[in-house]
Structure 1
Amino acid sequence: MKTLFVSYRVTDLDRSLGFYTALGYAELGRVDGGHGARLVILKFPDEPAASLELVHRPDDGPVDVGSGFDHLAIQVDSLAAALEMLTEAGLRPEPVQCPGGPQGPKTSWLTDPDGYRIELVEWPPGHPDGITAADFA
């Protein structure tokens, strides 16, 4: 088994698409769900398949993200370059943090239009992509 993608319900599809395309996602396709509902499937340009789905169901009302969801983590090659790109696109990333100390990963946070939190992570040199069992040894 493997995870296919994360799905977020969004209040304003156009506003959310603007945010996620500024973050670097590209639209892969759309699905009409009937009764005004729409799904937009996104991926980063270098990914082989979808990694994020935006679900817009206007009949369900505004999104409330305070019901248990915590955050989405996105790996970046260079946090400094990512923050510069995001700031130029009009987004507001938070200051850089080093939660594991100076030898650990660098992180920054963003909040999307519905309040979903996004953690941007730059691993230290030599660290494999993602979190592995070695991170807990």
Structure 2
Amino acid sequence: MKTLFVSYRVTELNRSLGFYTALGHVELGRVEVGDGARLVVLRFPGEPSASLELVHRPGNGPVDVGSGFDHLAIQVEALATTLKTLTEAGLGPEPLQYPGGSHGPKTSWLTDPDGYRIELVQWPSGHPDGITAADFT
């Protein structure tokens, strides 16, 4: 098995598309599902497949993230550069953090227009992509 993508229901599709394209996603495709509802599938450049699906169902009213979702984590190559780009795009990322100490990963947080939290992670040099079993030994 393999995780395909995360799906978020969004209140205003164009506002959310603006946010996620400023974050770096590009549109892979759209599906009209009727009654004004649509799905927009996104990926990061250089990735062959989807990583995020935005679900817009205007008839269901505004999104209430509440406490049912915690966050999405996204790996970045150079967090300082990413934060500069996101700040220039008006996305308002939070300050750089070192949750594992000075030799651990660098992180920052931002919140999308519907309140979904996103953790940006830069692994230390030599760390494999993603979290592996070695991170728990």
The question of a shared fold, defined as TM-score above 0.5 by the shorter chain, is answered with yes
Q: What TM-score does the superposition give when structure 1 sets the normalisation length?
A: 0.99
Shift of 1:67: 3.7
Give the unaligned 5+ runs of structure 2: none
Q: 1:18-67 CA deviation, whole Å, 9 max, x = no partner?
A: 00000000001100010110100000001110010000001111101114
1:27 aligns with 2:43: no
Q: What does 1:39-58 align with in structure 2 at a 5 Å threshold?
A: 39-58=39-58
- Other-structure match for 1:81: 81
Query: Between the two proteins, what is the percent identity of the paired residues?
Result: 80
- Aligned-pair RMSD on alpha carbons? 0.6
**Normalised TM-score (structure 2):** 0.99
Quick one: distance in 1 between partners of 2:83 and 2:94?
9
Matched residue count: 137
Q: Secondary structure of the residue that 1:80 maps to in structure 2? A: helix
Give the aligned partner of residue 93 of structure 1: 93
The aligned runs of 1:111-126 (5 Å cut-off) are 111-126=111-126
Following the alignment from structure 1 to structure 2, what is the Cα–Cα distance between the partners of residues 121 and 67?
Answer: 22
Deviant stretches of 4+, over 4 Å: none
Equivalent in the alignment of 1:109: 109
Q: Distance in 1 between matches of 2:47 and 2:64?
A: 29
The C-alpha deviation readout for 1:92-114, integer Å capped at 9, x for no partner, is 00000100011100000000000
